[in-house]
Amino acid sequence: MKPRELCEKAWKEIAGNFTDFKIISKGQTLKKTSKNKDLTYEIHFQANRNNYECSVEFIPHIAIYSKGMKKANINNGFVFGGEMGSLLGRTPFKWWQLSGASYKYTVEEISGLIRDHIIPIFDDFEDTETNVEKIMNDKPAIHNLLYYIYYFGGKDKAEKYFNKILKEDKLKNKYISFYNKLKEMPKEEISQVCNEFNGARLIQFAYLNGLRIEK
């Protein structure tokens, strides 16, 4: 069986365990819409471009998108996600093997991880008010979730979460320095400097939306 065919076989088998998800591209992508019709939960499997007969690997990615956030031009609608290894606190960018005897184990392991860890994350987002409070109390703070809290929880909660990010991040001083730099610039120029470093776009968003830094 060709590497791509083996991947598709595994993806379909994994997808078969989650019948409430829509199966797209021969099982490569699974999608489900939230009860309020705003959020889209997505599981996507990426095949290794270097796959060959004796080594067939793939990596699962998770994503949550909001129609409302996208319409409001906030973070392109992206709420939360990443590759599964990092999200679960395991080996970052771990590739799962399908070749040979690994096939059965990998299909079972990925199915179990999705069932026990990813689906509960999706379920948390079904109750927005409770989830916002949970996120604000969780550690560590996650950059992308600031946009979600701002849109769904309001400015005051977003400001608290913004300061939580600053407090926990090792780049705190760099972020504050950049924030203060933005104060001295005309607003029309701010968008031109938002990609200076990782995290700069978040600081730009906070400044433009009036999220203040606690003293």
Angle, vertex CA 190, rays to CA 184 and CA 193, nearest 5: 110
Mean pLDDT in residue range 191-200: 76
Which pLDDT does position 28 carry in this prediction?
A: 96
Q: Model pTM?
A: 0.93
- Express each pLDDT in 4-17 by its tens digit: 999 999 999 999 99
Which pLDDT does position 178 carry in this prediction?
A: 93
Average pLDDT, the chain: 94
Which pLDDT does position 69 carry in this prediction?
A: 98
Higher pLDDT, 199 or 65: 65
Mean pLDDT in residue range 26-46: 97
Which pLDDT does position 187 carry in this prediction?
A: 78
Mean pLDDT in residue range 23-34: 96
Q: Rounded CA gap, 81 and 65, in Å?
A: 9
Instruction: Quickly state the pLDDT bin for 73 (edges 50, 70, 90).
Output: very high
- Express each pLDDT in 144-185 by its tens digit: 999 999 999 999 999 999 999 999 999 999 999 999 999 998
Query: 120-139 burial, b for 16+ CB within 10 Å, e for fewer?
Result: ebbeebeebeebbeebbeee
Is the pLDDT at 209 greater than 70? The verdict is yes
Q: Rounded CA gap, 14 and 27, in Å?
A: 8
Mean pLDDT in residue range 71-80: 97
- Express each pLDDT in 100-159 by its tens digit: 999 999 999 999 999 999 999 999 999 999 999 999 999 899 999 999 999 999 999 999
Instruction: Quickly state the pLDDT bin for 194 (edges 50, 70, 90).
Output: low
Is the pLDDT at 195 greater than 80? The verdict is no
